[in-house]
Amino acid sequence: MTTAHRTSLVVASLLVLTGSGCRGEAKPADKAAATVNRVPVETTLVRRSTFEQRLRAPGSFQPIRVARIAVEMPGRLLELPFREGDRVEMDALLARLDSRIARAQLGQANAALAQVRVQQDLARTTLARVKKLAASKLVDQAQQDQAAAAERQARSAAQMAEASRDLAAASLAKLKILSPIAGQVLSRHVEVGEVVSPGAPLLVLADLSSMKLVVDVPERAVDAIRVGQTATVRINALTNAVRKGTVTHVPATANTDTRTYPVEITVDNSDGRIRGGMMARAELVLESLADQVVVPLDALVDEPPVRGAAGITVVYLVDGGAARRVPVVSGEMEGEEVRIEAGLSGGEKLIIVGQRRVVDGDAVEIISRAPAAEAAAQREDATAVERPAAPAAPADPAAPAETADPAETAETAETADAAEGGATP
């Protein structure tokens, strides 16, 4: 056999072995092509619950009652025991002025009143005597009229003297200023020893046992707010402490600058932690609707207009292991949830993760469920879609192809040559 003939046999053997290996690898590739590509998604059950539309508005705290203490009578200030921040009880002595002149005036008024009363008694006695004499025809009518006029004049003088005495007593009392409320001193404007005039401010007091939170409410929401309504208040400076408040005032007119309505919410401050000027956020329920379909806001997919048609909002449900596109009509939003007015009835498996990676009819695989739906999903085992078995792993394309041993190939070639040589005549 010639060398060219032997080379042809070796090449033919290698081609046979290589073709056999390729046909062996085609089977797992065909299986991989037949496997369905499922989109991983997460779902939750569509629920029906009470939907509450809320208003959240910022505001600042102010004292409900503020008393600006001023003097009514002139005088030198002798006593002012309280300073800023001090606690003051009801009817506590806030200030005392020099009362020597007022006491002297009161004494003078008392003396004048005593003198007038003596004259009143004399006029009353004279009138009684004249009346007896008149009965005996011993005095004429002119004397009777004169005695009666003197008695009336003495009575009027006594009344005036009593009024002067009361005025002096009131002036003396006003030199001692008592607290009209129980509260805290916010500011102090004078010092002991100063001469103050009527109307001069001494102190500013505030009752801090309750505070009012003033929030600006837009006109679209003010009609839904009522006096006595409960509000949730979160106070920024107190690490977002949450307290309950009550709406105590809804104004009839808006603020002309902001066109909003300053609604007042009263909050208990018996612990004294809330201070004037602190910022807070109030939450008020404007409307409460029972038995509504509520879904996460992120589950909605807005589709753009197509060929002149208006865009629509859809959601994707899991139905029989596949994604199903459902158009919906959405309503009000509240936080991270939205109310569905049409399209869903409750109980459907709603895709909440992966809804933007699927189209109608795509095969899906539920990889996890929202915690709220886990218990309900377990009760639906009878109707749950069974996941298909994982496809067999295809052959590794990186594995080396099986090749013939060169020695065996050479030996085969020699045997073929010998056979051919023996057969040659």
Question: How would you write the pLDDT of the chain (425 residues) with one tens digit per residue?
Answer: 444 444 443 344 444 334 444 444 444 444 444 456 888 888 888 888 888 888 999 999 999 999 999 999 999 999 999 999 899 999 999 999 999 999 999 999 999 999 999 998 999 898 888 888 888 778 788 888 888 898 899 999 999 999 999 999 999 999 999 999 999 999 999 999 999 999 989 999 999 999 999 999 998 889 899 999 999 999 988 987 899 999 999 999 999 898 999 999 999 998 889 998 999 999 999 888 888 888 888 888 888 887 767 778 888 898 888 888 889 888 888 778 888 888 888 888 888 888 888 888 888 888 865 454 454 444 443 333 333 333 333 333 333 334 444 444 444 444 444 444 443 33
296 with 348, same domain: the answer is yes
User: Do residues 33 and 392 make contact, with C-beta atoms less than 8 angstroms apart?
Assistant: no
Distance of alpha carbon 36 from alpha carbon 391, whole angstroms:
9
Question: What 3-state class would DSSP assign to 389?
Answer: coil
Residues 6+ apart with CB under 8 A from 88: 82, 94, 179, 181, 182, 183, 184, 185, 205
- Give pLDDT, residue 132: 84
pTM for this predicted structure: 0.59
Distance of alpha carbon 48 from alpha carbon 50, whole angstroms:
7
User: Do residues 62 and 266 make contact, with C-beta atoms less than 8 angstroms apart?
Assistant: no
- Give pLDDT, residue 279: 94
Is there a domain that residue 320 lies in?
yes
Domain hosting 326: range is: 39-50+291-378
User: Got the DSSP string for 85-152?
Assistant: T-EE-TT-EEEEE--HHHHHHHHHHHHHHHHHHHHHHHHHHHHHHHHHHHHTT-S-HHHHHHHHHHHH
Is there a domain that residue 66 lies in?
no
- Give pLDDT, residue 358: 84
The values of phi and psi at residue 410, to 5°, are -65, -40
224 with 263, same domain: the answer is yes
350 with 367, same domain: the answer is yes
- Give pLDDT, residue 373: 47
- Give pLDDT, residue 329: 87
Is residue 51 exposed (0-12), middle (13-18) or buried (19+ Cβ within 10 Å)? buried
- Give pLDDT, residue 167: 94
The total of structural domains in the chain comes to 3
299 with 374, same domain: the answer is yes
What distance, in Å, lies between the first and last C-alpha atoms of the chain?
13
- Give pLDDT, residue 35: 56
279 with 239, same domain: the answer is yes
Is there a domain that residue 406 lies in?
no
Give me the count of residues in the chain: 425
209 with 143, same domain: the answer is no
Is there a domain that residue 14 lies in?
no
- Give pLDDT, residue 21: 44
Is there a domain that residue 416 lies in?
no
Last residue in a domain, options 233, 261, 290: 290
333, containing H or E segment: strand 322-334
Last residue in a domain, options 129, 157, 172: 172
Last residue in a domain, options 155, 172, 189: 172
- State the residue for tokens 């046992």: 209
231 with 297, same domain: the answer is no
158, containing H or E segment: helix 141-173
Is there a domain that residue 308 lies in?
yes
The values of phi and psi at residue 209, to 5°, are -65, -30
- Give pLDDT, residue 391: 35
Tell me the CATH number at 142.
1.10.287
